Amino acid sequence: MKKILFIIVFISSLCACKLVSQKSISVLTEIKLNIQEPSGITFFNNHLYITSDYNGLVYKTTLEGKVVEKIATDFTDLEGVAIKNERVYVVNENKRTLIKLKSTGETDKKYKIKGSQKKHNSGLEGLCFSEKEDCFFIVNESSPTEVLKVTKKGKELDSFKVDFANDLSGICFDNKTGNLWLVSDESQKIYEISNKGKLFKSYSIPVHKPEGIVIHNNKIYIVSDSENKLFVFKKP
């Protein structure tokens, strides 16, 4: 009898986990962007900063997605963006590089991020900065699918593998909770996790090829690479 009860409880736990992973959130706003292949997004001083992996530009926009400034860089294949001390940082996927930009967009510093990737397009995909921990978090898309914690000069402090998503395409730091949020292109989901990789919640999102994520004022902003759109969700 005890064995039967254990099996029932175990199966119920699995079902509960599955239900959690199938939660979805609805879109508040869907905005068409005048940006080709938006790939990364962050928030600073009441504006959004969005990278393009098509032309190597960083776009400064309003919260409604209107472009107010274009910052040309020395790179293409830009995948993530973060701002620290009013300076823009981006990651280049092909060369596994964290790049600090001058205000003009020219390269100030470059830091090689250690690690390996099986394909040129399966490397560094997302970037965020944690004021609380004074470090960057970077996601590696796949092979391996992992999160890297690095210093301001790109030195690895910690890392952890992710086994609950098919790939990773973006990351942001939640200043209110101290947690991280991830977005997966292939899984079409977002995930709230601890800074050590423990999964708390996951949500399905109606976005094709979501590439970047940021949280501001209890709203989640996500950019779609293929649709050239900005999606705004209410934070659960």
Cα separation, 157 vs 72, in Å, equals 30
Low-confidence ranges of the chain (pLDDT < 70): 1-22, 116-121
54 to 15, 24, 210, 230: CA distances (angstroms): 42, 30, 15, 16
Question: Given this model, what pLDDT does residue 185 score?
Answer: 95
Question: Given this model, what pLDDT does residue 119 score?
Answer: 63
Question: Given this model, what pLDDT does residue 226 score?
Answer: 95
- Give the predicted TM-score (pTM) of the model: 0.89
Residue with tokens 């790109």: 154
pLDDT (tens digit per residue) in 85-115: 999 999 999 889 999 999 999 999 999 998 7
Question: Given this model, what pLDDT does residue 122 score?
Answer: 75
Q: Where are the alpha helices (DSSP H) in 77-226?
A: none
198 in helix, strand or coil? coil
Instruction: Return the biggest CA–CA distance within the chain.
Output: 72
Question: Given this model, what pLDDT does residue 20 score?
Answer: 44
Residue type, 59: Y
pLDDT (tens digit per residue) in 195-223: 999 999 999 999 999 999 999 999 999 99
Q: Which of 236, 185, 232 is nearest to 32 (CA)?
A: 232
